[in-house]
Amino acid sequence: MSANAPNTGQIVPFKARVNDLRSTLDGMKEQFAQALPAHVKVDRLLRMALTAVQKQPELLDCSRNSFLLSLLECAQLGLEPNTTLGHAWLIPFWNSKQKRLDAQLVPGYKGLIKLAYQSGMVASIGAHFVREKDEFDYKYGLRPRLTHKPCRTPDAGEMVACYAVAEVRGVARPIFKVLERWECEEIRKRFSKSPNKGPWVDNFEDMSMKSAIRRNLKLVPTDTEKNMLARAIDHDERAEAGISQEFSGDLINLGPESVTTPEGDAAEPGKPAEGTAAEQPTAEQPAQGSKLDQLAAEARAKQAARQS
């Protein structure tokens, strides 16, 4: 059932829930079109959104506002969600305060690299693993230095470190950040709300590389007020820590919203897929519905009128 649908106590088929979301998205095409960069077509983004919920049905159990805001932010950043490009992912997170699932935007390391190039500040960026048998040395300070000669045989050993290096326009020396394996383990334990399951267990090396890239890009100077890269890094850190994300624009004033399960019970949905506790701001929510609620209601009304 849609997160905004009435609690009728009836089971709503999955196909009907997808159609309800499609109707809402169709009614918001203009909103998304205004947010998208020129090279991304709104119909493609909406198709990707529908594909995402079909691949991960738990997204339909998320509050509709959180899903639409995450999708809109993804559009504004120019990232394609839940595709093989690996730009970004819309993931269900359990909101323990509101007792509901919320969708959150989790940028991938490829998405961060894409935004780094688009910022105009980065001339090149790369990231690499360091294996046990590699020749590797580095130092920081007034004359930083990094040398890495990989072992060229298949028995190079386990990952012992990873690093990211970026050439920044107008900066004499490349900027680099090294993470030793023990540092990656500390990041997993201290900053991830799901340290013993999910991507940090299934894809430890990729998550380690992403952490190195993210920390390196935070050192890149910015000279614009609307910095897409800084926004994406902030979303990624908040999602990893399991805290609420903050979105810019005039659509973040969310009103109260009840979440229902497919069975129609106003209760905790099923166990979130690799979710974390996403705490919400403590400020009191406004009594009236948000602009997204109004747009969604108008879209459903138009759909009902067409069917009558």
217 token code pair? 């890009």
**pLDDT bucket at 44, cuts 50 / 70 / 90:** confident
Identify the H or E element spanning 186: helix 181-191
* Whether pLDDT at 148 is above 60: yes
Q: Spell out where 9-51 has E strands.
A: none
Q: What is the pLDDT of residue 302?
A: 58
How much is the pLDDT for 78? 85
What pLDDT score was predicted for residue 293?
54
Tell me how far apart the alpha carbons of residues 144 and 137 are, in angstroms, rounded to a whole number: 11
Cβ(188)–Cβ(200) under 8 Å?
yes
Q: Which residue would you say has higher pLDDT here, 196 or 141?
A: 141
**Distance between CA atoms of 78 and 64, rounded to whole angstroms?**
21
pLDDT over 70 (residue 298): no
Contact in structure between 126 and 110 (CB atoms under 8 Å): no
Length reported for the chain: 308
Written as one letter, the residue type at 275 is: G
Query: Which H or E run contains 71?
Result: helix 64-77
Per-residue pLDDT, averaged over 159-182, amounts to 95
Residue 253 has a pLDDT of 37
As a whole number, the mean pLDDT across the chain is 78
Of 21, 27, 34, 28, the closest CA to residue 63 belongs to: 21
Interacting residues of 38 by C-beta distance below 8 A, sequence separation 6+:
none
- DSSP E strands: which ranges in 3-121? 88-95, 100-107
With left for phi above 0 and alpha for psi between -120 and 50, is residue 225 left, alpha or beta? alpha
- Nearest-angstrom CA–CA distance, 170 and 122: 9
